[in-house]
Amino acid sequence: MTEAVEELLNLLDVERLEVDLFRGIGSGGETSVRIFGGHVIAQALAAAYRTVEGRLCHSLHAYFIRPGDPKIPVIYSVERARDGGSFTTRRVIAIQHGKQILNMSASFQIDEKGWEHQHSMPSVEGPEGFPSREELREKFADQISEKWRADFLRPRPIDIREVSPQDFLKPKPADDANSLWFRMPGAEGADAVMQQCLLAYASDMNLLGSSLRPHGLTWFTGGFMSASLDHAMWFHGPVQFDQWHLYTMDSPFTGGARGFNRGAIYAQDGRLVASVAQEGLLRPVSKKVK
């Protein structure tokens, strides 16, 4: 197990402080300046799971309220909203410096059978044909400020293969459709709860970037403020995140200094395992709006 994988698994092993009060590590993960959104979502889901037995999450809805501070832990307060015959509902509040940074509602369901259908997985070349995240970043490393270069290149636990990667520093306007393959080999053997938490963590990757693509922007171009505002996720079936999954994303709308994004996550055998939606802040700062 690599150090990056071990670090992520530790992040999701939230500590119980009281019956419904938990503490999660704030440092580590995808970013060093502020806490990655998927980090807080996954820890909130892990905290909620500590109060649920015999049921798996089928949906979660979260609002990001304040940026997370990676220098201190995050406290998660879980409210047991309902324990029903088929469904369980939990509300989770994430707190730092005495203030909410996220609140989330999650619903859990017993295993039930019913009618089934799904949209087919798009036809996309397999992951082996695309460069890894590490290979892409190595190409641009010498153009990144020395101050940020080590963080830019440090190993990360999620293996990502973008289907249509953009130039980090000089992107051209592109279609909002945005697909990638991702997996975490270190998830092999993890239980169903951890598999969901890991996929929730990874579901925040590249999603907001879909609304940047038509405007010729990336996180490295500057000229705008960005932040995830909310995040919704629906789990449709079992997750084995040590295996490749296709994440297809698009952005049907940007406007009002916001971008709306949605995604579908398929197992490599074509099963639709999750759907995602997110709105993010996209506020122009100095560059001309395209």
**CB atoms closer than 10 angstroms to residue 6:** 12
In the chain, where the domains are located? 1-111, 128-290
Rounded to whole angstroms, the maximal C-alpha distance in the chain is 58
Query: Are the C-beta atoms of 34 and 213 separated by less than 8 Å?
Result: no
H or E element in which residue 19 lies: none
**CB atoms closer than 10 angstroms to residue 120:** 8
CA nearest 108: which of 174, 32, 181, 51?
A: 51
Q: Does domain 1-111 have CATH number 3.40.50.150?
A: no
**pTM for this predicted structure:** 0.94
Q: Which string of b and e fits 188-206 if b means at least 16 CB within 10 Å?
A: eebeebbbbbbbbbbbbbb
Considering the segment(s) 128-290 as one domain, its CATH architecture is: Roll (3.10)
> Rounded CA gap, 57 and 110, in Å?
9
Catalytically annotated residues: 204, 228, 278
pLDDT (tens place) for every residue of the chain, 290 residues total = 788 899 999 999 999 999 999 999 998 878 777 899 999 999 999 999 999 999 999 999 999 999 999 999 999 999 999 999 999 999 999 999 999 999 999 999 999 999 999 999 999 999 999 998 888 888 777 777 777 777 777 778 999 999 998 887 888 999 999 999 999 999 999 999 999 999 999 999 999 999 999 999 987 888 899 999 999 999 999 999 999 999 999 999 999 999 999 999 999 999 999 999 999 999 998 655 55
